[in-house]
Amino acid sequence: MNNYLKLVFSRKVINLKSVSVLAVVIIASLAFIYRGLFIAATVNGSFISRLSIIRSLEKQSGKAVLDGLITEKLFEGEAQRRGISVSQEEIDAVLKNIEEQVKAQGTTLDQALAMRSMTKEDLITQIISQKKLEKMLADKAQVSEADIDAYIADNKLTPPKGQEADFRKSAGNQLRQQKLATEADALIANLRETASIGRFAGY
Q: Give the integer Cα–Cα distance in Å for 57 and 60.
A: 5
Predicted local confidence at residue 84, as pLDDT: 95
Q: Which residues pair with 49 in a beta bridge?
A: 39
Task: Give per-residue burial for 35-69: e unless 16+ CB within 10 Å, then b.
Answer: eeeeeeeeeeeeeeeeeeeeeeeeeeebeeeeeee
- Give the per-residue SS3 of the chain: CCHHHHHHHHHHHHHHHHHHHHHHHHHHHHHHHCHHHCEEEEECCEEEEHHHHHHHHHHHHHHHHHHHHHHHHHHHHHHHHCCCCCCHHHHHHHHHHHHHHHHHCCCCHHHHHHHCCCCHHHHHHHHHHHHHHHHHCHHHCCCCHHHHHHHHHHCCCCCCCCCHHHHHHHHHHHHHHHHHHHHHHHHHHHHHHHCCCCCCCCC
pLDDT tens for 121-163 read 999 999 999 999 999 999 888 899 999 989 888 888 888 888 8
Task: Give per-residue burial for 86-121: e unless 16+ CB within 10 Å, then b.
Answer: beeeeeeebeeeeeeeeeeeeeebeebbeeeeeeee
Statement: the pTM of the whole predicted model exceeds 0.95: no
Predicted local confidence at residue 122, as pLDDT: 92
pLDDT tens for 12-56 read 444 545 545 555 555 545 445 555 567 777 788 788 887 888 888
Q: Which residues pair with 43 in a beta bridge?
A: 46
Question: Would you mind telling me the total number of residues written for the chain in this entry?
Answer: 203
Predicted local confidence at residue 47, as pLDDT: 80
Q: Give the integer Cα–Cα distance in Å for 74 and 195.
A: 8
